[in-house]
Structure 1
Amino acid sequence: MSTITIHPDGWKPAKGYANGIIAEGRVLFVGGQIGWTADQVFESHDFIGQTRQALQNIAEVVLAAGGSVSDITRLTWFVTDKREYLARQKEVGAAYRDVMGYHFPAMTMVVVAALVEDEALVEIEATAVLPPED
């Protein structure tokens, strides 16, 4: 599946995200994923560890649907601590690239007071556009 990244003329470069994506195919909506394992256990109580796990969970859902991380067109992040996110952006970027490589879909970051699971520090939802079924 091919996507087209949209970047309006004259805008400063988007760093680590796309302003827009055009895609055609089957749409997969991935519910918010938090930093716990498939057994719903938090192995990490650290923001970076939970970020990596949440992204890995998204990748696994997309793979289970027959896609790949390059099919992800949008991510919406919910974080409970803006200061920690900003202070650890370099580490967030490294964790992101470990799972997603250098694929940067359209993204939104929202700071929230809390998440439903008390131990969760980050929740990420995704949209992917998968190739047509054969």
Structure 2
Amino acid sequence: MSHDFLQPKGWKPAVGYSNGVAAQGRMIFTGGLIGWNGDCEFESDDFLGQAAQALRNVVAVLEAGGARPDHLVRLTWYVTDKREYLASLKALGAIYKEVIGRHYPAMALVQVVALVEDRARVEIEATAVIPQD
């Protein structure tokens, strides 16, 4: 992998994410992906179920561009309830590792009033960089 995870000297290590990533190569950008399937149908109204599906959707778009989860350099999560997110961290971590693996790009979490799809509880934007050979 040709990504460099950036850790400023003297900072405590980030847990479950990176503060920054330096990468060079072919860039892949996803739109905001929510927790519905490829037919635009929700199979769950549960936060964890939607988060798992949104992550699987990220992986599917990456694959369509020739990228893998370990090419991710940034994830931005939009949630409608940060308390629900925080209360689900342990289970969400297990889902994340199952779908993405033990790869922790730069991440941000933003609580929003609503998402465009009323049933959506989480939306994820991703950036990946496929290393140049």
TM-score for both structures, normalised by structure 2: 0.97
Within 5 Å, give how 1:61-76 maps onto structure 2.
Answer: 61-76=61-76
Q: Indicate the SS of the match to 2:32.
A: strand
Structure 2 contact 23–131 (Cα < 8 Å) conserved: no
Matched, 1:114 2:114: yes
Q: Could you give the per-residue CA deviations for residues 55-86 of structure 1, whole angstroms, max 9, x where no partner exists?
A: 00000100110110000100000000111111
Aligned alpha-carbon RMSD (Å): 1.0
Alignment correspondent of 1:24 = 24
Q: Which runs of 4+ in 1 moved over 4 A?
A: none
Q: Could you give the per-residue CA deviations for residues 95-125 of structure 1, whole angstroms, max 9, x where no partner exists?
A: 1111011000000000000000000000000
Cα separation, 2, equivalents of 1:53 and 1:131: 26
Cα separation, 2, equivalents of 1:52 and 1:17: 17
Alignment correspondent of 1:56 = 56
Alignment correspondent of 2:102 = 102
Cα separation, 1, equivalents of 2:41 and 2:2: 35
Structure 1 contact 72–127 (Cα < 8 Å) conserved: yes
Q: Indicate the SS of the match to 1:44.
A: coil
5+ long unaligned stretches in structure 2: none
Cα separation, 2, equivalents of 1:125 and 1:85: 16
Q: How many residues align?
A: 133
Alignment correspondent of 1:35 = 35
Shift of 1:131: 3.2
Cα separation, 2, equivalents of 1:86 and 1:6: 25
Name the amino acid aligned to 1:26: R
What is the percent sequence identity of the aligned residues?
58
Alignment correspondent of 2:7 = 7
Q: Could you give the per-residue CA deviations for residues 24-45 of structure 1, whole angstroms, max 9, x where no partner exists?
A: 0011111010000000010011
TM-score for both structures, normalised by structure 1: 0.96
